[in-house]
Amino acid sequence: MLGTQNRWQRELFVAAPLEHLIPEDHVLRRVDAAVDFSWLRDAVADCYCLDNGRPSIDPESALRLMLAGFLQGIVHDRKLLREAQVNIAIRWFCGYSLNDTLPDHSSLTRLRQRWGVSRFLALFEKTVQACVDAGLVAGDLVHIDATLVRADVSLDSLAKCHAQDVLKGNDDDPPLLSGPPVRQKRKKWTSRTDPDCAMATARRGHFTEPSYKTHVAADSRARVIVDVTVTPGDYNEGNEIAPQTDRVTRRLGKAPGTVTADAGYAYGKVYQALEERDVDPLIPVKAEPKPRGVIPLRRFKYDDKNKVVRCPQGKILSRSTKAWHGWYYKSSSTDCKSCSRRSACLSPKVDRRTVVISDGYAALLRARRRRHRWRYKETSIYRRHRGYIEGVNAEAKRWHGLARAARRGLENMAIQAYLTAAAINLKRLATG
């Protein structure tokens, strides 16, 4: 017999608890069993008045609500509250019954402003520690990569930076480098609605767009995110790998044995920083640029101890002025004038040879020699790098809402990145 269902016959009361209506393998049920959020109330107690005012939303319920959204890829507060209105699993996970009134979406906005970035950073670090305690993090091999996140602005909000405003702003900034002043990189475009973002492009040949850059470090065992930070889109990722390694060391209690990264991190200062921290850098070295019609830099011998460079003829090039990424080394015009290889080393209009030795150049040379000696083990580890770390970035963008900034400002972007990383780690903890 063909059965029928009266869809208008509704129950007046729900006799069973909401927990009984949620499948045993539901991700929110697993996360609830794996993590304890009781620490949050004490962590945010200083953000509230103790003896007056209206009672606020329970901090744990609010955090659970945001995490439930990021676990399901819902990063906008309005959409999250609409989903929570009809989603029994979210109501149960946050501690709301069917008859309870959910908070307004604006309450979550005010809560993020009140708590600040530090509380969400603490949440992320709690998830890392939980994964460490569960044995999901080895700490021997860490993969690092950066990815661009589209800012929440339109192209109509872009405006050219005025030179006088840039110069005025740079006058108050502390010097980035010691020594003589050098040319600083200036922004050509800025967004009037979100000045924290910067114009950047993901790959050569593509158009630039206002973006932020997330720097992610993931452990190799279970792809747990052990560090994440956010910078403007034009920030060089090579400047971030050293502090990232320090933060990973602090959270794991030991320095990672090996760090892998792509060729975008192949700078001398990166290799030097990792060597100083007793970390093996598994980063492919970029090929040396080929000069036009002159003897290449690799034929010059660099003495790191005495800070001098010797040309192929044995003449000394002394350190001259500071460059953006290193130092200029210049030869003596007298030595070059009497040199038998002058025509092969200098153009007709130049009377001396000038080379640029980048910061950490000695470490870069050692990395080039090691790259030629890579064996099967090193090659196989690096081949897994792309699948591991880029897979994590793709997972964060496709399934957890990190493809585009949900709100404006560097702090809001950092909160979004911490919540995304915490959601991914909780998913690893729940399923691992």
pLDDT of residue 2: 60
In a domain, 390, yes or no: yes
250, 395: one domain: yes
Q: Is residue 395 part of a domain?
A: yes
Q: How many domains does the chain have?
A: 3
pLDDT of residue 182: 39
User: Does some domain include residue 9?
Assistant: no
Domain limits for position 312: 297-352
In a domain, 13, yes or no: no
Domain-terminating residue out of 115, 143, 158: 115
- Residue 342 within a domain: yes
Residue 130 shares a structural domain with residue 101: no
pLDDT at 9: 54
| Residue 179 pLDDT | 39
Over the stretch 257-269, which tens digit does the pLDDT of each residue have?
999 999 989 999 9
Answer whether residue 392 is part of any domain.
yes
Quick check: is 361 in a domain? no
* Residues of the chain below pLDDT 70: 1-16, 162-187, 204-205, 289-293
Q: Does one domain contain both 143 and 234?
A: yes
Residue 346 has what pLDDT?
A: 85
Q: Which of 90, 115, 140 is the last residue of a domain?
A: 115
233 and 275, same domain (yes or no): yes
HEC assignment per residue over the chain: CCCCCCCCCCCCCCCCCHHHHCCCCCHHHHHHHHCCCCCHHHHCHHHCCCCCCCCCCCHHHHHHHHHHHHHCCCCCHHHHHHHHHHCHHHHHHHCCCCCCCCCCHHHHHHHHHHHCHHHHHHHHHHHHHHHHHCCCCCCCEEEEEEEEEECCCCHHHEEECCHHHHHHHHHCCCCCCCCCCCCCCCCCEEECCCCCCEEECCCCCCCCEEEEEEEEEEECCCCCEEEEEEEECCCCHHHCHHHHHHHHHHHHCCCCCEEECCHHHCCHHHHHHHHHCCCEEECCCCCCCCCCCCCCHHHCEEECCCCEEECCCCCEEEEEEECCCEEEEECCHHHHHCCCCHHHHCCCCCCCCEEEEECCHHHHHHHHHHHHCCCHHHHHHHHHHHHHHHHHHHHHHHHCCCCECCCCCHHHHHHHHHHHHHHHHHHHHHHC
Question: Is the domain of 228 the same as that of 374?
Answer: yes
Do 230 and 130 belong together in one domain?
Answer: yes
Boundary (domain end) residue, out of 115, 133, 164: 115
Q: What is the pLDDT of residue 99?
A: 86
For residues 190 and 58, membership in a common domain is answered with no
Whether 111 and 131 map to the same domain: the answer is no
> Residues 257, 194: one domain?
yes
For residues 168 and 222, membership in a common domain is answered with yes
Same domain assignment for residues 170 and 266: yes
pLDDT of residue 55: 82
Instruction: Identify whether residues 57 and 101 lie together within a single domain.
Output: yes
Q: What is the pLDDT, as a whole number, of residue 391?
A: 93
